[in-house]
Structure 1
């Protein structure tokens, strides 16, 4: 994990005092709403439905136990006792007062946390594969590269006021667990035939009202050129991106309006100019960053497989422990260790929520059963990256006591959901009550495990904060006559073979969603071949059979007649 230097800490403290002064001037009437708005957004502060919300950055998802305790203090002393982990690997506090925010930021700065660029028209928090550096198939550890990009992007004077927000994701795995194709820029570490390290550069991804998957701009860019090439992309976007229309300001619109080759031509021209004038070595930046990275001191020896529970454990406990090992842990590249996922989902827990007491306890567990590091994931969970195999029984018992050992990682109820109408000014529909109802209905682990990998994503509006467009099943909340209804999409994916889901039919009312999901999934079980995954079945038979099963053949024929031939392309 990257260790902040005195310079880093000084920057955070100076930023806090700057924002403290801006907030004081706003509260005293010296700054207008219009003048204060971009300042607060660049410091992660939103004025939401009920109270100010602060979004705290967790760069590429890495979090020390000390930092988690710092977040627990904020939840306990300034909020209502919990925080909400997001799909950007950040955490949000939803019940602050404006007067408190500078003090909150000062407290966070002391543990190396901040809210810089977690909102506003700037380069947002860099996200990464939650298993980065932990699996053997990666071509290189992407974490140091994430830190290189983070340092380059933070308070970059040229890119502080872009046409719109800008998101970068990094992966080094061919499986693309970082969902790079739904980002403005996706970076995938690769090696050329000679073994030289570089990046595949994708550009123009993004969801929302006009969803697009990022397209490959360069199959291979030498690693040393990364920062110069990113600068070239951002310059072309900053100069040519639309500022007259909020909904057409993202880089995906620019790429599609110019065409990928024309956009690439401008980027390559700017890159050549940078090379002539003042090139920056990304490899040198990587070397400096690597000097401040603390890597785990793995121990040799120990068991070669997870031990059983201690003598005296009941059959029920042994069964639960076995399920947890199978679904909530992952093989580690280092022998003698396991990755452990901590699900932040359940009938009594909004997806992503964690209480201050749970944060404190998980910080203790991270130190007791690892190296004092946790990670947040873009599907609103946490994980412990380096758990010795010998510690697994004790860790399971501790997580079970916390209610954080439910063995449903990768199943339907491991859903992601935005805060919806409960918090967000932009939401059209409530998401959290629906998530709770789904959790309560689909509570049979045997059934969930039989269904297999079914990724459910629920967004309360078209901004798609929960990525419903790339859910195997996506639910989009819409408002009808003052009530919450939900449009159903099928077939999306955010992995290497990413695709956008397609709308199945008319929206259904909130009180019919669970029943509709139940019918849809039972139809899948009837249609699948052997153990065929849900997404494969959808791709094989298409949407029409699902549509006819839920809405009837007459509706399907009417929809086909009304839709232009190219609409499903």
Structure 2
């Protein structure tokens, strides 16, 4: 993974000192609230319903065991003993004291981390595939490109005050595990007819109150011109994006208003002034960053191990976990391991300080000291020898991180909802608990197969309900929580927005409504068909009829 150089470290240290002085002046009454608001947002600090919330950047979701231990220390010292992993692969602390945030930022700087640009109308944390570098189907590891984008975009003076926040995702190949098609800019690594690697560029995707799937603006971009083309897109958005209405200020609204052909024309015209110039990446610079992401020294004898099969034959619980929570690695003898942050009763994405320390120790012991955060609010150890899987599973069980529910109904993406967020209209965590209790049986969950359930507490869609196979949106009706359900969404290379099933249902009917939908699926599915595949074949009507016109 990338290691800071002297310039990186100086930048972060200076930002801590600046913010410490800004906080001091605000608390002394020398800095007005309206001025401090912009400054704290630039440093990732929100004020939520219960307390301040600090969002810490985890660039492209990759971090070290040392950094995880720093998170644990922060949770113990300045928070209530836990953190929360988000869909942008960052971590949030929900209970810091405003006056102590500079101390937290200083602690983060010691381990090459910060909260810069995790909020505000700027370029946010670039995300990517959690399997980057270990997936056999990728064209190339996308993380070096994410790191280059991070360095280009951090404190970029031209894009510090965009019309609205801006998000970029990079997919390593045709299998889109980065949700690139629902980002402001999506980049997909591709090969042209000559076998050269470059980018397909998509623009104008996004969710929220006006969801759009991104459109292809360029089929092939040579990698050396990545910065110049991104800068051209950002310039057009900065010049023409709406600033009079924050709900219409995202680039997706601009692309929809102009049409992709006109937007492309404007970008290409602007690009003529930029390409081939000082923004052009040299091969030397690309190679310098790629050197930070070289493959680990994998054990040549790993594929010869036979102990895994013995463990699978001995323990049924281990076998179930192995099938559900691990997947193929491109190197024989290794597996990718998913750590579920979706306990039976507990907020999805939350992790205690004790669990953080355990994960750090396990990463050091079994996965080269590296950890990944996912858009599904889980964690991944990407490089575990198969001979170590049984021992790893046992320790994960002890830490309550081995629930075998990855990619099942209870592997839910859920925003904090009304319990924490000022913007939320409805509670979500209580509904997640009720769903967990109603669908606790793992055999039933595994029989249902791959289902992505996403639940948001408001139209801002922080939990991406539009692209869930089943989406749930909390709405307020005269002071009561009701929930609108959508079906058929997807965030893959075949990205689709879910369709509304019908009228919203009250809180106490959500689990029963889900049960009806799932039983309908089981009745309709053909052999080997997933929920979303069955939905695409039969459409929404059978599900709507089952819910609203039961026999």
TM range (shorter): over 0.9
Pair 1:454 & 2:451 matched: yes
Pair 1:31 & 2:31 matched: yes
CA RMSD of superposed structures (Å):
1.5
Q: 1:278 to 1:112 in 2, by over 3 A?
A: closer
CA distance in 2: counterparts of 1:377 and 1:53, whole angstroms: 20
Aligned to 1:409: 406
Greater shift in the superposed pair: 433-442 or 53-62: 433-442
Question: Cα deviation per residue 1:474-500 (whole Å; 9 max; x = unaligned)?
Answer: 000001121211000001000000000
Pair 1:100 & 2:97 matched: no
Q: 1:383 to 1:276 in 2, by over 3 A?
A: closer
Aligned to 2:114: 114
Structure 2-normalised TM-score? 0.98
Residue 456 of structure 1 and its aligned partner are, at CA, apart by 0.2
Aligned to 1:372: 369
| Partner SS, residue 40 of structure 2 | helix
Residue 347 of structure 1 and its aligned partner are, at CA, apart by 2.1
Give ranges in structure 2 of 5+ residues lacking alignment: none
Aligned to 1:535: 532
Residue 306 of structure 1 and its aligned partner are, at CA, apart by 6.6
CA distance in 2: counterparts of 1:232 and 1:262, whole angstroms: 14
Aligned to 2:468: 471
Residue 10 of structure 1 and its aligned partner are, at CA, apart by 1.4
Aligned residues: 551
Residue 553 of structure 1 and its aligned partner are, at CA, apart by 7.9
Q: Please tell me whether the aligned partners of residues 227 and 282 of structure 1 are also in contact (alpha carbons under 8 angstroms).
A: no
Aligned to 2:482: 485
Q: Please tell me whether the aligned partners of residues 302 and 334 of structure 2 are also in contact (alpha carbons under 8 angstroms).
A: no
Residue 291 of structure 1 and its aligned partner are, at CA, apart by 3.5
Structure 1-normalised TM-score? 0.95
Taking the TM superposition and a 5 Å limit, the aligned residue runs for 1:248-267 are 248-267=248-267
Aligned to 1:184: 184
Q: Please tell me whether the aligned partners of residues 225 and 282 of structure 1 are also in contact (alpha carbons under 8 angstroms).
A: no
CA distance in 2: counterparts of 1:232 and 1:282, whole angstroms: 19
Pair 1:520 & 2:483 matched: no
CA distance in 2: counterparts of 1:352 and 1:309, whole angstroms: 32
Aligned to 2:42: 42
Pair 1:495 & 2:492 matched: yes
Greater shift in the superposed pair: 188-197 or 1-10: 1-10
Pair 1:391 & 2:388 matched: yes
Q: Please tell me whether the aligned partners of residues 65 and 364 of structure 2 are also in contact (alpha carbons under 8 angstroms).
A: yes
Aligned to 2:296: 296
CA distance in 1: counterparts of 2:255 and 2:284, whole angstroms: 31
| Partner SS, residue 20 of structure 1 | helix
Q: 1:456 to 1:305 in 2, by over 3 A?
A: farther
CA distance in 1: counterparts of 2:275 and 2:301, whole angstroms: 49
CA distance in 1: counterparts of 2:234 and 2:249, whole angstroms: 13
Aligned to 2:233: 233
| Partner SS, residue 274 of structure 1 | coil
Q: Please tell me whether the aligned partners of residues 55 and 91 of structure 2 are also in contact (alpha carbons under 8 angstroms).
A: yes
Aligned to 1:559: none
- Following TM superposition, the consecutive aligned residue runs of length 4 or more in structure 1 with deviations greater than 6 angstroms are none
Q: Please tell me whether the aligned partners of residues 126 and 149 of structure 1 are also in contact (alpha carbons under 8 angstroms).
A: yes
CA distance in 1: counterparts of 2:109 and 2:549, whole angstroms: 57
Aligned to 1:344: 341
Aligned to 1:211: 211
Aligned to 2:419: 422
CA distance in 1: counterparts of 2:308 and 2:222, whole angstroms: 47
Question: Cα deviation per residue 1:73-122 (whole Å; 9 max; x = unaligned)?
Answer: 11110000000000000000001110010000000110111000000000
CA distance in 1: counterparts of 2:74 and 2:525, whole angstroms: 48
Q: 1:219 to 1:552 in 2, by over 3 A?
A: same
Q: Please tell me whether the aligned partners of residues 462 and 476 of structure 1 are also in contact (alpha carbons under 8 angstroms).
A: yes
CA distance in 2: counterparts of 1:295 and 1:46, whole angstroms: 38
Greater shift in the superposed pair: 292-301 or 159-168: 292-301
CA distance in 2: counterparts of 1:310 and 1:56, whole angstroms: 42
| Partner SS, residue 104 of structure 1 | helix
Give ranges in structure 1 of 5+ residues lacking alignment: 555-569
CA distance in 2: counterparts of 1:73 and 1:322, whole angstroms: 34
CA distance in 2: counterparts of 1:278 and 1:83, whole angstroms: 41
| Partner SS, residue 119 of structure 1 | coil
Q: Please tell me whether the aligned partners of residues 474 and 501 of structure 1 are also in contact (alpha carbons under 8 angstroms).
A: yes
Pair 1:153 & 2:162 matched: no
